[in-house]
Every structure is written in structure tokens, then in C-alpha cells.
A and B are shown apart, each in its own frame.
Chain A
Amino acid sequence: MIEAKNLRKIFRGNRGLRDFSLSIAPGELVGLVGPNGAGKTTLIKIISTLLPADSGFTTVCGYSVSAESQAVRASTGYLADFPGVYQDMRVEEFLQFFADAFRLREPQRSASIQRAIERSGLQDRQNDFVEHLSLGWKQRLLLAKTLLHEPKILLLDEPATGLDPLARIALREQLKQLHAEGITILISSHILSDLEDICTRIVFIADGKNVSEPSTASKTAQAALPVIRCEIEFVAPLSAVDAAISRAKGKSLSGKKGNQLIVELPGGAEEASAFLQDLLASKVLVIHFDARGPGLEERYRRTFEERLS
């Protein structure tokens, strides 16, 4: 759906993208994560045809971003970071303008506008001036506008910035719904918990490079190896627990409080299951066992720890 190969775009101050490559399959909901100035916005701008790359190439739905920009725009919906609205237009007029800008013809035009109004939940406010809407409602309107021409791909650059928790929840639900409808989404955000909740894949970007691909420097790749975190609550005996922990390969005890332990194991669900079986075989009375992979926050920390220090 989206193929970016060796993208390079350098700005003054040496920021931008350096040989960035990324492949997104149809139906994926990919989160783009990285520190400020990592190149997230630049990448999204290049894919959305707003910015030409210095070198490399990008295709969207098989169309070249540089040579077939109109076809790319017809198949993508782009929502900028801090997007603006025409405050002095009514909600319906705003959508009508963009329906015309995307060359929608009747009866599709009216149907799309109506659908967008329903999608944004602005049925009762379609005659209101945009300036009278709250930030959350404006964001809904903008997303509805972005979907007017029924794009196959959505490019969202920090769409949740400035939204209150309720608006963020609504946005998250809307994105889940769009993903379920089969729309491919590339979203950049600093709100990791939101991305963790909705994304099917996370791409880490730092200094203009994709640091989550296999070609990444080995140290960083090492840091990103999967680790599973097990929270255990038991009744007795402690010695059997200690023995089971000492048998687990590569384990690390990261917390101990009374009858509660937190153990991190290399690997995934299988390793966690084996550890639990070992505990039970050692006659430990386990009353609570919760095994989870590292959160996005933890993965982010591990990936960028070296760079941040």
C-alpha cells in the first residue's frame, strides 16, 4: 500500500530523513513513533505529496508520489499536525467546499457530505459556524473532511494533540472503526498509550532513520528484543519460588514486595507459560499470575535510551 525506499530529505540544521525505508501492507494501522525532530512529519509530508524528497522513491497504492501526485492525493487522506479550519464557514459549507475540491459529483457529493456529517456526529450543528465548535469537534470535522473522498489510506500527523481525554477516546474509537472498515492508516503520535491500544504495528524513527527494521544497528535491535513481564502473587513457600526463578534463563527480578514478585523473562507467551508451569510443579500456590509483553512506553524507552543518554 505504501512503499518508501531510501528516502532522503535534509533540511537546514541537518534534520530530516536519511535513507528511510518503510513498507505498509493494506489494512495495517501503523504507528510512527520517535522523539521530536526525528522526521515523522517530514515522512508524512513526503507521502502526502506536500514535500518532495531529495532522493529515494515512494509509491502509494502503486502510484509514484513524485510523478503521479494527483492519483496519490485521490487515494490518501491527510490530516496535518495542528490543522486549521475556516472559522467563518458553516460546518456544511466547509464540507461542501472540500467535496468540490475533491471533485465529487452528484449524487456522490451529497451522500459523502451527509456521511461525513453523520460520521463526525455533527448532525445537529451542520449550520453552525466552525468557530463555535470545540477543539474536539473541530478535530472530528477535520477527520470527516479527510474521509470525504473515501481514501484508501489515512495519513495522520499527531491528530490527538491538544484534545481532552474524552475527545481522544472518541478519536481512538473512530480510528478503530476506520481500520475495521479496511482503511490503511499511518499515524504519528507522542501519546504512546493511544497507539498501543489501536496500532497493529509500531515503527520507531530516530534521526531520520527507521530504527525498528531488521537492518537497524545491532545494539538498537538488541535493545528491542521482546521481554515478557510476569506479575506473580503466591501464598507459599518462598524457597520454591526462589528455586523456580533461579531456573528461568535470562530472568531478572525487577520487584519484590511481600508475597508479590515481578519477574522479567526474555521471550514471549511461551516462556511465561513455561515459567508458570515450573512454579506450579514446584508446589508454589500461585493465586495471581499476569504476564504481559513490554508496553510501548518500555519499548520506546529501550529503543531510544541510548540516544537520550
Chain B
Amino acid sequence: MKRFITNPMIRKELRQRLRERRAWLLPSLYLLVVAGTASFAYYATTSIAATNGQLEIQGADIGVAIFLTVIFTQIVVLLLMAPVFSAGSLTIEKEQRTLAGLLTSLLSVPQIWWGKFVAALLYLLLLLSSALPLLALSFAFGGVEPVQLLKATGSTVLVLASLSAVGLWCSALFRRSIHATATCYAIVLVLSVVTVVTFGILSAHWESSGAAASGEGIPAYVQSPMFLNPLYPLLALFSPGQGNSFSYPVCSWLLFIAIGCLAAAFTMRRLQRSGEQL
């Protein structure tokens, strides 16, 4: 266990990542985007209220609007960034011909994987935590509880960890970073878009069958494609108890954990057999 914590791979990866120009460029851009959407949420909420002729706006409404906008913006932006950090991390070792040196050292394959995984995830966590002050802004307006912030952050981390593991698997499969990154983006796209389309088809079929008229929520089998959607856990967390809502965040979490574990196992297996690729 100690070996996994004091893993030299983590130190090496973080050192190399923080030396890159994108180490400061990406957090800056990320914060600009998140701050921009938070400001947009504030002005949109207040201007809509003004348009509707409301003289007083509830602070809680603004707080909730900012919170939801920021957490969904965060996960969308981080989903776009996760492949960049994970899918290139083993291919870069192949491209610069350093993987043989790692595999013939006393680092085990799980240690190499863990080092790459933690480094990729830590960078995403850095971005995530850098936006926490913006999220905390919603507390000033009210309507959001700290536990909701914890749930949202935890769920986002779990989804990102799973997709980072998938990115590493793509990285182990290919020789070139560009191919691994493209494949990882394709997987993210399938999870994000195809699941919604499938859900739409199933949902339409369910509604046309007349079952929707009974007033019960969307059944699990109709929601099931969405369990694989990276946004589903957040949608499920923040729309509980309402009619037609998504209500199975745990199923989605378990699926993402399973995907992450499978991806990790396949990556390590692939790494163990990568001698021919070197």
C-alpha cells in the first residue's frame, strides 16, 4: 500500500505536467469559462425576474441558479479535458520511447497505471477545486446546502475518475496520442449523446404506450441508457421526488465504477503485453 502512495510515477508525472505551459493556461481558461457562466446565471435569473415584473427576487433562486449552472458547466468542461490528460499519458511514453525503461524497472504494471491515473485525476481535481470559491458564492445567496456541494463534487470526481481510466485504456491500446485521444473523445461522445438519443427513443415509446398517463415516474428500463450518461448522476441528484425525474444516481455511480475498474484491468493487461509495441 505504501508503494502506491510513495509512487515515484506520481511525482514524475506531476512534475512534468506542471512544467508544461498548459499547467497555468488551462486553469486560467477554465476559471474564465466557469466564472463567465456563473455571471451569466446571475444576470439571467435577475433579468428574467425583472422581465416578469417581480420586484423582489429570492436570494435562494439566484443561489440555486448559480450552483446548478456552475456544477453542470464544470462537468461538461472537465469531460472535454479528461481525454487530453489521460489518453496521452501512456502513448507519450511510447512516442518518446521511454516505456521500455519503465517496464524493465522495478515498478510494477499496477504502479505505473496508478501513477498515470492519479496524475491525470489530480490535475482535474486541481481544476475542480479552483472553482470551489465560485460554487461557494451560491451559499451567500442561500438555497444550497453544503451537503449538496459535497454530493455534486463527489459525483463529478467519480465520473471523471472513470473516464480517466477509460482514457488510459485508450492510451494503452494505441501507439500515437492523437489516435488514443480521438478514440477517448468518441467514447465520451457516445456516452453523452447516444445515451440521450436512446433514452429519447425509449421515452417516446413509453409515452406513446399510455403508461405515462398513470403519473408515475419514468421507469428504470427507460432511464437505463442514461445511467451511462456522465451528466445523469447530477441530473438525478438535483431533481429528486418530482414527476418524470431521473431517480437512480446509485445505479449510474455503480456503472461508472464498473467501467473504471474494467478499463483499469484492460489497461494493465495491455501494458503487460506491450513489449511488441516498443
Contact = CB atoms under 8 A, between A and B. Distances in A.
Contacts of A85: 96, 98
A86 B96 contact: yes
Interface in B104-134: 104-108
Contacts of B104: 48-50, 73, 76, 78
Contact of A86 (B98, B105, B275): B98
Interface residues of B, number: 24
Contacts of A76: 104
Interface of A is mostly: loop
Nearest to A102: B106
Interface string A82-106: 1111111100010001101111000
Contacts of B22: none
B97 A97 contact: no
B106 A70 contact: yes
Interface string A36-51: 0000000001001111
Interface string B168-192: 0000000000000000000000000
A101 B102 contact: yes
B26 to A, nearest CB: 17
Nearest to A101: B105
B101 A145 contact: yes
B16 interface: yes
A100 B9 CA distance: 9
Nearest to A84: B97
Given A49-B104, A78-B104, A89-B16, A97 B8 contact: yes
B12 A97 contact: yes
A29 B274 CA distance: 29
B16 A98 contact: no
Interface string B13-34: 0011001100000000000000
A161 B104 CA distance: 21
A83 B97 contact: yes
B100 interface: yes
A98 B96 contact: no
Given A87-B96, A93-B15, A51 B105 contact: no
A80 B8 contact: no
A73 B103 CA distance: 9
Contacts of A51: 275-276
B152 to A, nearest CB: 35
A79 B225 CA distance: 49
B278 interface: yes
B100 A78 contact: yes
Contact of B107 (A82, A87, A93, A101): A101
Which of B12, B98, B273 is most buried by chain A, counting CB atoms within 10 A of its CB?
A: B12
Given A88-B16, A89-B16, A50 B103 contact: yes
The 4 closest A-B pairs by CB, nearest first: A84-B97, A100-B8, A51-B275, A50-B275
Given A80-B100, A83-B101, A97-B11, 6 more contacts: A73-B106, A76-B104, A88-B16, A97-B8, A101-B8, A101-B102
30 contacts: A11-B276, A45-B275, A45-B278, A48-B104, A49-B103, A50-B103, A50-B275, A50-B278, A51-B276, A52-B275, A73-B104, A78-B100, A78-B101, A82-B97, A83-B97, A83-B98, A83-B100, A84-B97, A84-B98, A85-B98, A86-B16, A86-B96, A86-B98, A88-B19, A89-B12, A93-B15, A97-B8, A98-B105, A101-B107, A103-B106
